[in-house]
């Protein structure tokens, strides 16, 4: 797992530095609305927060590697009890951003997720279920954003899981996460 993370980070650094005219660091965070395919229930509301490096390599294109903490999972009912599957990840997306006009962009790119914890909770108890979930998740993300000022931006993004996140069962479960948030470029 560590060698994949190291290779992915090396790719981000190399891709971001070749031909980059300007590299701008920043912070971002916001609301997650998540569920897990194959589980009936309600969306789980949580959040995400992290850092990014935005590298503009021409007026229309930039690349933005990120490292984010992301709360994901699902709410569901089992035997008349309400439960929350709470999954915590470190996400590493690499977003390619297309800027058709100066203050607006469309984005897409791959991401890797590294599971920090998996818990099933109800009003009274919390059960760790880390052993039931794979440590690495892969997905693809796409979205759009508006840069209101040179520092302040707003975005929306949807992450689609491409890998089954569970171990030892015959069904496939995939993460699905909608995100809305605020980004601040640090100059």
- Tally the residues of the chain: 187
pLDDT on residue 168: 78
Q: What is the DSSP letter of 132?
A: G
Q: What is the pTM of this model?
A: 0.84
pLDDT on residue 144: 98
Residue with tokens 């920043």: 26
Phi, psi of 10 (to 5 degrees): -60, -40
**Domain containing 18 — which CATH number?**
2.40.160.20
DSSP H or E stretch at residue 9: helix 2-17
pLDDT on residue 18: 47
pLDDT on residue 20: 44
Residue with tokens 């999972």: 73
pLDDT block averages, 10 residues each, the chain of length 187? 53 50 92 93 95 93 97 91 93 97 96 96 87 95 96 97 88 94 95
Which structural domain range is residue 92 located in?
A: 2-185
Number of domains making up the chain: 1
As a whole number of angstroms, the distance between CA 129 and CA 117 comes to 8
């Amino acid at each position: 797992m560590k060698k994949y993370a190291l290779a992915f980070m090396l790719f981000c650094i190399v891709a971001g530095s070749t031909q980059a005219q300007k590299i701008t660091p920043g912070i971002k965070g916001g609301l997650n609305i998540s569920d897990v395919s194959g589980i009936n229930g309600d969306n789980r509301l949580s959040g995400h927060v992290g850092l990014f490096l935005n590298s503009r390599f021409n007026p229309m294109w930039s690349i933005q590697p990120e490292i984010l903490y992301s709360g994901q999972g699902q709410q569901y009912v089992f035997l008349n009890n309400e439960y929350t599957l709470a999954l915590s990840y470190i996400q590493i997306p690499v977003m390619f951003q297309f800027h058709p006009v100066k203050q607006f962009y469309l984005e897409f790119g791959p991401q890797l997720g590294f599971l920090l914890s998996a818990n099933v909770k109800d009003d009274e108890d919390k059960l760790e279920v880390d052993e039931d979930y794979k440590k690495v998740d892969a997905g693809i993300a796409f979205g759009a954003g508006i840069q209101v000022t040179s520092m302040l931006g707003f975005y929306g993004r949807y992450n689609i899981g491409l890998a089954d996140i569970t171990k030892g069962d015959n069904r496939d479960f995939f993460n699905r996460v909608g995100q809305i948030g605020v980004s601040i470029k640090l100059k």
